[in-house]
Amino acid sequence: MGRFLSGGADSASLFVEATLDAADEATEALAFLGAANLAISGTFVGEIVLEKSFDGGVVWIPATNLGVVVVFTVPATEMVLNRETGVFHRLRMRARTSGAALCRLSQ
């Protein structure tokens, strides 16, 4: 992810990566402006949510689509748009049964 060749330099200017293997574990927060990539891979049984914070990481709010919380239960990629400075994003494993998810937010 984010590399032209395996083991090469990362081409993203901003990114966070984490292996989530426990409930309530989250990536570090990432603030970006414009479009960013979200990637989840690995073999896991659980639920991962994208969360946003508008107050520097004190309160985290799950991202929604038409009012429904977006929950990832399988490997996936998405584009995330943010048009407001100072908004932090993170991926959090909301529930876990087994396995680990490799999570990345990048720009």
Domain-embedded: residue 6: no
4 falls within a domain: no
Please check whether residue 49 lies inside any domain of the structure.
Answer: yes
Average model confidence (pLDDT) across the chain: 93
Spatial distance between the Cα atoms of 9 and 84, rounded to a whole number of angstroms = 29
Structural domain includes residue 88: yes
Domain that holds residue 31: 15-106
* 8 within some domain: no
| H or E element that contains 34 | strand 34-41
Looking at the domain assignment, is residue 54 inside a domain?
yes
In this prediction, residues 55-71 reach a mean pLDDT of 96
User: What amino acid occupies position 64?
Assistant: T
Q: What is the pTM of this model?
A: 0.90
Split at pLDDT 50, 70, 90, the class of 2 is low
| Confidence class for position 6, pLDDT limits 50, 70, 90 | low
CATH code for position 94:
2.60.120
Residue 78 has pLDDT above 60, yes or no: yes
Position 82 in a domain: yes
pLDDT at residue number 8? 72
Q: What is the tens place of the pLDDT at every residue in 21-43?
A: 999 999 999 999 999 999 999 99
